[in-house]
Structure 1
Amino acid sequence: MSPPAHHAAIEQIYEQHHSWLYGWLKGKLHNACDAADVAHDTFVRILAARNAAQIREPRDYLATIARGLVIDRYRRQAIEVAYLQTLAARPEATAISEEDKALIIETLIAVDKALAGLGARTRQIFMLSQIDGLTYQQIAVQLKVSLTTVKKHMIRALTECALIMAQR
């Protein structure tokens, strides 16, 4: 689709449905600023997708994108809270700059997203290894799988995490 046609389609969708989307989000989020942010981000996603002229049910399409953005927002908040709680629970006072905190949180979100994209078994094995500190052999016994299976899943998980880190 040509850029002018794409922009014209977005303009039409924006004019006809932005107020509805904002109101819908305001009802879901109970916060006008957050609703405005998510509505804006929704249209940014449509702008980047370059398929605006093909959208047949704009409200459904907008709602689907907005729901995903709201879920991402809640996931980010949960990760940020968990990180800050973990940081506060550390015995020694650690001074971390706001920039470093933001980078750490962004990295945690990227890793969380990568893990969410893995299969359930791979994610479980990775968590048992990296969070619970179990050896590969202990994981194999606990899950009743072979040591080779554990290694295969760990390679997959670590490769995904490495790819995410390389993009940063």
Structure 2
Amino acid sequence: MIEAAVPSEQNLHDLYRDHRGWLETWLRRRMGNAWDAADLSQDTFMRVLSSAHPLADIQEPRAYLLTVGKRLLSNFYTRRQLEKAYLQALAQLPEESVPSPEQRWLLLETLQALDELLDGLPRPVRRAFLWSQLEGLGYREIAERLQVSERTVKRYMAQAYEHCLLVDL
């Protein structure tokens, strides 16, 4: 059993040694920040390590790393947008209602998890689901906002619930 793990570890070591610098440079050019690029590079290799895809089967390592890195980069920017929107919303609150730093962190983590959970759903479906769950709107109100029928909202909600049940977290 130990022998089976050695080739995988060696493959990861080789992949990391041969391509980390290239990936980090690519990320730094897009992000304009060496620290974030280094973090995202490490996250990319961690994602590769935790993947079910055997390292020995990777034919084009840079293309594979680039695909994983691009997804993580997209998640990074999505998270930044969520954080920015959240901080703007906090700025509108009266001082006594502002959550503590710990509460803010938990809320941001929850928002990120929710965003990842709903990833892949069409925009109107996401909106309908979020308005229903976060704002407590009924199907009629959602239909008015989206300018669709209530029947369409019911379909959207069923699609969102099914997606949430089937998503592999």
Match of 1:61 in 2: 64
Q: What amino acid is aligned across from residue 149 of structure 1 in structure 2?
A: T
Q: Distance in 1 between matches of 2:98 and 2:160?
A: 31
Q: Distance in 1 between matches of 2:121 and 2:71?
A: 18
Give per-residue Cα distances to partners, 1:27-54, cap 9 Å, x unaligned: 1111111111011111111111152111
Give per-residue Cα distances to partners, 1:100-142, cap 9 Å, x unaligned: 1111001111222223332344224335556787642244466
Contact 1:115–1:123 at 8 Å: present in 2 too?
yes
Match of 2:24 in 1: 22
Between 87-96 and 99-108, the greater mean CA deviation after superposition:
87-96
Between 60-69 and 135-144, the greater mean CA deviation after superposition:
135-144
Against the structure 1 CA distance between its residues 56 and 163, is the aligned structure 2 distance closer, same or farther, given a 3 Å change threshold?
Answer: closer
- The yes-or-no answer on 1:123 pairing with 2:126 is yes
| Offset of residue 143 of structure 1 | 3.2
Pick the aligned partner of 2:102 from 79, 84, 99: 99
Taking structure 2 as the reference length, the TM-score comes to: 0.80
- The yes-or-no answer on 1:114 pairing with 2:117 is yes
Q: How large is the Cα RMSD of the aligned pairs?
A: 2.9
Q: Distance in 1 between matches of 2:21 and 2:6?
A: 23
- The yes-or-no answer on 1:4 pairing with 2:14 is no
Q: What amino acid is aligned across from residue 103 of structure 1 in structure 2?
A: L
| Offset of residue 157 of structure 1 | 3.2
For structure 1, list consecutive stretches of 5 or more residues without a partner in the other structure. none
Tell me the number of residue pairs that the alignment of Structure 1 and Structure 2 aligns.
Answer: 164
% identical aligned pairs: 39
For structure 2, list consecutive stretches of 5 or more residues without a partner in the other structure. none
- The yes-or-no answer on 1:13 pairing with 2:12 is no
| Offset of residue 25 of structure 1 | 1.3
Against the structure 1 CA distance between its residues 135 and 56, is the aligned structure 2 distance closer, same or farther, given a 3 Å change threshold?
Answer: same
Match of 2:43 in 1: 41
Match of 1:143 in 2: 147
Q: Distance in 1 between matches of 2:148 and 2:97?
A: 41
| Offset of residue 94 of structure 1 | 2.3
Between 85-94 and 60-69, the greater mean CA deviation after superposition:
85-94
Higher relative contact order (CA 8 A, sep 6+): 1
Q: Distance in 1 between matches of 2:15 and 2:66?
A: 13
Taking structure 1 as the reference length, the TM-score comes to: 0.80
Match of 2:55 in 1: 52
Contact 2:90–2:98 at 8 Å: present in 1 too?
no
